[in-house]
Structure 1
């Protein structure tokens, strides 16, 4: 059950992260980061680790975008 919740949280954060890849919308990643971390924590509590891994991939996408944009853009 917690794995499904983690996947849903990952999908919600992915919906925020995808438009944030557009230049000048990178600030949206800052809103997605706490949601992604919550998904990782919930996924860690689950017996399976699919949801946690999905949230880690979304976190990687957001972190790379923030790094390329200098943290703001």
Structure 2
């Protein structure tokens, strides 16, 4: 059950992260990061790894985008 919840949290944060890849919308990644971290924690409490790994991939994409944009853009 927790794995499915982590996957749903990951999907919600993915909906925020995808448009945030456009220039000048990188601030959306700052909104998505707490949600992704919540998904990682919920996924870590699960007995399966799929939800946690999905959230980790989204986290890496958001962080790399923030680093490329200098944290703001």
Shared fold (TM-score, shorter chain, > 0.5): yes
Q: Does 1:53 pair with 2:53? A: yes
Q: Does 1:28 pair with 2:31? A: no
Residue 16 (structure 1) shift: 0.0
Q: Distance in 2 between matches of 1:2 and 1:49?
A: 10
Q: Does 1:38 pair with 2:38? A: yes
Q: Distance in 1 between matches of 2:59 and 2:43?
A: 13
Q: Distance in 1 between matches of 2:14 and 2:63?
A: 13
Q: Which runs of 4+ in 1 moved over 3 A?
A: none
TM-score of the pair, normalised by structure 2:
1.00
Aligned residues: 73
CA RMSD of aligned residues (A): 0.2
Q: Distance in 2 between matches of 1:14 and 1:58?
A: 7
- Mark the runs of 5 or more structure 1 residues left unpaired by the alignment: none
TM-score of the pair, normalised by structure 1:
1.00
